[in-house]
């Protein structure tokens, strides 16, 4: 439901919701709590709730790997040697100058196309120079086999290139100071399909750049099980991997399935990332390059249509027999900028109340919850408030989720008293009896596997969305309410919160 916040926090009383102003995060006075709501002391105090923040970071946003405890690698070029499935594999590694001990660096994996190798990608793309300028590690894996093509179909009778890519990241995490939030993959043609497969098989890769990439059955249909940022750079005049899909004309690739249309591939990836269904065409870059961007994504998706481009790397020097090389954009610079703008989200905050038997992985971007608070008010034992998003001013959050609990029968505690009920339906009936305007919502949810009842007021009424449920010998009440007027989709906020909620007993 699209709700405009009402500028007040609403609390359940014995017969109504009592409005309470909240000018500051610490209240100077507290609404009275009924004596019957006071917890009975026991000989063994219940465990206190715990809040586990993300680990301390060596620099803002960075998460260092185990190799951060080792001396940094020497700058320059070297060769990584690994044994994968009994086969010797190699990759070139470039370390930028000026690496400081304990400072995590991003990593970019650069996959060549068929009939190429890592050194040729060094020469073609200039990624090592870009790494020197922007301070990241870059690795150029080498494929094996007659065509030096990547095993993107994951044929069992060929070397596992997905395992090879993972092993490169594993080794660098152990031997160098890697930023575990900034691992990326980029590839040309079949190398683009390999970059997609690497991201699908390794959750550490958070963004990919696909240049003149093979899409569909000829490459890989594997899609990551999480949102991954993706940029595609593709020539409209590509004769080998056509913009609109189709077959590769080279005889040696006659056995390949037809390639997928570029925008069709990107649209499917955008749906997976939760984007709006249709892209927005952007202003032309230079004379020939048209960007397409999808809005409202959990991880961005962008396509650059290169109007005069062939099966080439935009910005590279030298001629190609497979079409023109556009100079309006540089694929290396576009990829690097896209990568560095899209690190992985920071680790989640975890709140756990062992006494009540539940745990919440707080959505990314939300701050630590306030324990023992009902909104801004320190009035209810056993309650916890989860501020949503960022403050609208100083330390004031426009939207908050309040969760409180009590024994079955007595019900969850609120500043005005308990909400009795033994089932979710019973709690809902009592709430509708006590608070005029509440009705059971057609929205259906479960909380940690338990059925729950959602209650809402009429559109425009100042009643927060409420959710009631039970688990074991406990009854729970959850509110989504607004401290200050703000447009907010309460259902989406609730879904984000419940996605991280689980019972621990």
Strands 50-52 and 501-503: unpaired
**Each residue's pLDDT tens digit, 99-137:** 999 999 999 999 999 999 999 999 999 999 999 999 999
Q: Where exactly does CATH 3.40.50.1820 map onto the chain?
A: 66-340
Rg, Å, the chain Cα set = 28
Structure tokens at 473: 């010998």
Nearest Cα residue to 332 out of 27, 110, 127, 54 = 127
pLDDT band at residue 236, thresholds of 50, 70 and 90?
very high
pTM (2 d.p.):
0.66
Question: Given CA atoms 244, 248, 249, 254 in this order, what sign does their dihedral have?
Answer: negative
Query: For residues 157 and 2, what is the distance between their CA atoms, to the nearest angstrom?
Result: 54
pLDDT band at residue 265, thresholds of 50, 70 and 90?
very high
Query: For residues 122 and 498, what is the distance between their CA atoms, to the nearest angstrom?
Result: 46
> Is-contact 57 133, C-beta < 8 A?
no
Candidate CATH numbers 2.40.50.140, 3.40.50.1820, 3.40.50.300, 3.40.50.2000; the one for domain 66-340: 3.40.50.1820
**Each residue's pLDDT tens digit, 187-215:** 999 999 999 999 999 999 999 999 999 99
pLDDT of residue 156: 87
pLDDT of residue 77: 97
Structure tokens at 498: 């419940």
> Is-contact 152 193, C-beta < 8 A?
yes
**Cα 221 from chain centre:** 21
> Is-contact 409 420, C-beta < 8 A?
yes
Query: For residues 233 and 11, what is the distance between their CA atoms, to the nearest angstrom?
Result: 53
**Each residue's pLDDT tens digit, 2-29:** 333 333 333 333 323 323 333 333 332 2
The enclosing H or E element of 399 equals strand 399-407
Token look-up 């020539």 returns 235
pLDDT of residue 496: 86
């Amino acid at each position: 439901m699209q709700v405009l916040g009402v500028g007040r926090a609403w609390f359940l009383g014995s017969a109504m919701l009592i409005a309470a102003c909240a000018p500051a995060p610490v209240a100077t006075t507290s609404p009275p709590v009924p004596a019957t709501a006071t917890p009975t002391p026991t000989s063994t105090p219940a465990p206190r709730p715990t809040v586990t923040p993300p680990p301390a970071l060596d620099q803002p946003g960075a998460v260092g790997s185990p190799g951060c405890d080792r001396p940094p690698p020497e700058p320059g070029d070297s060769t990584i040697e690994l044994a994968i499935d009994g086969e010797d594999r190699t990759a070139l590694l470039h370390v930028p100058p000026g690496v400081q001990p304990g400072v995590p660096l991003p990593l970019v994996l650069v996959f060549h196309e068929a009939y190429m190798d890592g050194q040729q990608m060094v020469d073609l793309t200039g990624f090592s120079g870009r790494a020197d300028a922007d301070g990241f590690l870059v690795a150029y894996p080498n494929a094996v086999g007659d065509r030096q093509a990547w095993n993107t179909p994951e044929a069992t009778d060929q070397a596992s290139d997905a395992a090879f890519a993972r092993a490169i990241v594993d080794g660098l995490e152990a031997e160098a100071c890697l930023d575990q939030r900034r691992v990326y993959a980029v590839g040309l043609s079949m190398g683009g399909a390999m970059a997609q497969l690497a991201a699908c098989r390794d959750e550490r890769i958070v963004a990919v750049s696909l240049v003149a990439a093979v899409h569909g059955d000829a490459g890989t249909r594997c899609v990551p099980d999480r949102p991954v940022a993706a940029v595609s750079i593709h020539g409209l005049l590509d004769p080998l991997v056509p913009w609109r899909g189709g077959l590769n004309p080279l005889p040696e690739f006659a056995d390949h399935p037809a390639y997928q249309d570029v925008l069709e591939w990107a649209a499917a990836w955008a749906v997976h990332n939760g984007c709006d269904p249709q892209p927005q065409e952007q202003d032309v870059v230079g004379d020939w390059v048209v960007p397409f961007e999808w809005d409202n994504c959990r991880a961005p998706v962008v396509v650059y249509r290169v109007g005069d481009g062939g099966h080439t790397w935009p910005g590279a020097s030298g001629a190609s027999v497979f079409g023109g090389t556009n100079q309006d954009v540089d694929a290396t610079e576009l990829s690097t900028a896209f990568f560095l703008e899209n690190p992985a989200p920071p680790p989640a905050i975890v709140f756990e109340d062992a006494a009540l038997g539940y745990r919440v992985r707080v959505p990314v971007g939300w701050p630590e919850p306030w324990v023992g608070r009902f909104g801004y008010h320190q009035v209810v034992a056993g309650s916890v408030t989860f501020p949503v998003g960022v403050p609208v001013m100083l330390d004031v959050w426009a939207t908050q989720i309040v969760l409180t609990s009590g024994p079955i029968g007595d019900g969850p505690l609120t500043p005005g008293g308990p909400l009795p009920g033994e089932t979710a339906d019973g709690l809902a009936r009592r709430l509708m009896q006590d608070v005029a305007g509440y009705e059971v919502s057609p929205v259906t949810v479960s909380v940690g596997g338990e059925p729950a009842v959602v209650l809402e007021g009429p559109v425009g009424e100042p009643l927060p969305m409420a959710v009631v449920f039970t688990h074991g010998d406990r009854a729970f009440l959850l509110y989504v309410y607004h401290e200050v007027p703000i447009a907010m989709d309460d259902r989406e906020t609730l879904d984000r919160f419940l996605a991280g909620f689980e019972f621990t007993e």
